Amino acid sequence: MTNFWSIWIIVLSSVVIIGCIFLLRACSKNDTGVEEGESMGHSFDGIEELNNPLPKWWSYMFYITIVFSVIYLALYPGMGSFKGLLGWTSSNQSVRTLEESKIAVEDALKEGRWVQYDQEVIHANEKFGPIFKAYADTPLEELVNNKEALKVGGRLFLQNCAMCHGSDARGSKGFPNLTDGAWLYGGELETIKTSIMNGRHGMMPPKGGLPIEDSELPGLAEYVVKLSGREHDAALAAQGQGSFMKGCFACHGMDGTGNKFMGAPNLTDNAWLYGGSRGAIQQSIKNGRSGVMPAWKDVLGEEKVHVISAYVYSLSNK
């Protein structure tokens, strides 16, 4: 954090605390010239304003809150780059393994700092590390039949993957449905693990980078609708097929079944990542699409990814 932002946070926090004190004091004073409980001379719709101050217990509660905030900001980080009198920090560094966590805690304690997160990592790794190690040593083909492992994988999925794919793994616009068996890069166990470990970056350039005019988009979209087996305008689809043959087949294949090595979607299965309406298809062709799946190997580690992979595979292979 730069000095400017550190000072900005300190000043802003201090102004808010001091402002709260003055506001409470102002609300506690009776300098209106009207006795407590008497009318202030204002009324509207039959409701009359009386000179009633804040209840004492309410005022005391706010004062206690202010005192607590001052003590908290003195002891813990919160005022810019000031680390607090206790030198507390949630984590010393980005660590995952048990040995790295122990080293981080030892270094922190030598410096008089309290690293709560790393201490919790040590406790969690000591308790759950052997379990994940046993799962990691089990081939995925066997792990998908282990009910306890799948329960663990399901919990890990909810904690880390549900924000994009949904708690039911059915995804949403732009986020793949993991239950329908339609895989952009392949649904084999090792392929799923590779996708989770290393992430994926799908890229369709606008109009596929081809000399396709806007006037061709309705026909091209109609041809894609035909490929998916839906009712279509045969004449318009025939025009669109000519546009498709300008080069769309290079990624999606001559028959439109896609290319898993490139992550090019199968256009014949009626599974749509960004919507299958004619308008949505035209928008995808015209503007292109760029989807990113982050890599999880540095966040969860291979052992946990191994378990999640088995769970994800089980979603469409029950």
Give pLDDT, residue 250.
95
165 annotated among ligand-binding-site residues? yes
Decide if 158 contacts 315 (C-beta within 8 A): no
Do residues 144 and 282 share a domain?
Answer: no
> Residue 126 pLDDT > 90, yes or no?
no
Extract the runs of DSSP E, i.e. beta strands, from 159-247. 200-204
What pTM was estimated for this model as a whole? 0.68
Percent of the residues in the chain that have a pLDDT greater than 70, as a whole number: 88
Instruction: For residue 190, tell me if it sits in a domain.
Output: yes
Residue 164 among known ligand-binding residues: yes
Residue 242 belongs to a domain: yes
Q: Is 293 annotated as a binding residue?
A: yes
Domain that holds residue 169: 138-198+303-317
Asked whether residue 160 falls in the same domain as residue 184, the answer is yes
The residues, ordered by sequence, that sit 6+ positions from 5 with a Cβ below 8 Å of its Cβ are: 80
248 labelled ligand-binding: yes
CA-closest candidate to residue 250, choices 258, 242, 260? 258
Q: Is residue 153 part of a domain?
A: yes
114, pLDDT greater than 80 = no
Q: Do 114 and 259 share a structural domain?
A: no
- Type of residue found at 252: H
What is the per-residue pLDDT for 48?
A: 82
Q: For a pLDDT cut of 90, what percent of the chain falls above it? A: 67
Looking at residue 152, what is its pLDDT?
A: 96
- The total number of residues shown for the chain amounts to 318
**Average pLDDT, rounded, for the chain:** 88
Exposure string for 183-195, b = 16+ CB within 10 A, e = fewer: bbbebebeebbbb
Question: How many domains are contained in the chain?
Answer: 3
Q: Which of 316, 318, 221, 201 is nearest to 272 (CA)?
A: 221
The Cα 23–Cα 58 span in angstroms is: 13
- Residue tagged 């760029």 (tokens): 290
pLDDT at 240 over 60: yes
252 labelled ligand-binding? yes
Q: Residues 199-222: pLDDT tens digits?
A: 999 999 999 999 999 999 999 999
Indicate whether 167 and 233 sit together in one domain.
Answer: no
In this prediction, residue 107 carries a pLDDT of: 67
| H/E element, 114 | strand 114-115
Q: So what's the pLDDT on residue 95?
A: 43
Please state, as a whole number, how many other Cβ atoms lie within 10 Å of the Cβ of residue 176.
23
CATH code for the domain of 181: 1.10.760.10
pLDDT value of residue 94: 47
pLDDT tens column, 294-311: 999 998 999 999 999 999
What pLDDT, on the 0 to 100 scale, is given for residue 133? 93
Is 206 in the same domain as 192? Answer: no
What is the Cα 223 distance to its own chain's centre? 35
Residue 27 labelled as part of a binding site: no
Exposure b/e, 118-128, CB count within 10 A at least 16 = b: bbebbeebeee
What is the predicted pLDDT for the residue at 237? Answer: 96
Q: What is the dihedral of CA 162, 167, 172, 174, to 10 degrees?
A: 20
- Across 174-193, average pLDDT: 95
In this structure, are 132 and 191 located in the same domain?
Answer: no
pLDDT for residue 25 = 86
Annotation-wise, does 161 bind a ligand?
yes
Both ends of the chain: CA-CA distance in Å?
A: 50
Mean pLDDT of 155-181: 95
* Residues 38-59: tens digit of each pLDDT: 787 778 887 888 777 778 888 8
- pLDDT for 113 beyond 50: yes
DSSP-derived 3-state class of residue 112: coil
CA 155 vs CA 149, 158, 168: distances in Å: 10, 5, 12
pLDDT at residue 140 tops 80: yes
Q: Are 262 and 186 in contact (CB under 8 A)?
A: no
Same domain? For 239 and 209 the reply is yes
Cα distance between residue 313 and residue 144, in whole Å: 8
pLDDT higher at 85 or 147: 147
| Residue 203 labeled ligand binder | no
Pair 212, 194 in one domain: no
Residue 149 lies in a domain: yes
Instruction: Report pLDDT for 86.
Output: 81
Tens digits of residue pLDDT in 81-97: 888 888 776 655 444 55
Shared-domain flag, residues 212 and 280? yes
CB distance 317 to 191 below 8 Å? no
Better-scored residue on pLDDT, 26 or 8: 8
Which candidate, 82, 92, 114, places its Cα nearest to that of 13? 82
- Cβ(220)–Cβ(236) under 8 Å? no
Q: Are 317 and 192 a contacting pair, CB within 8 Å? A: no
Query: Does one domain contain both 205 and 280?
Result: yes
Q: 249-287, pLDDT tens digit by residue? A: 999 999 999 999 999 999 999 899 999 999 999 999 999
Residue type, 19: G
**Do 128 and 267 fall within a single domain?**
no
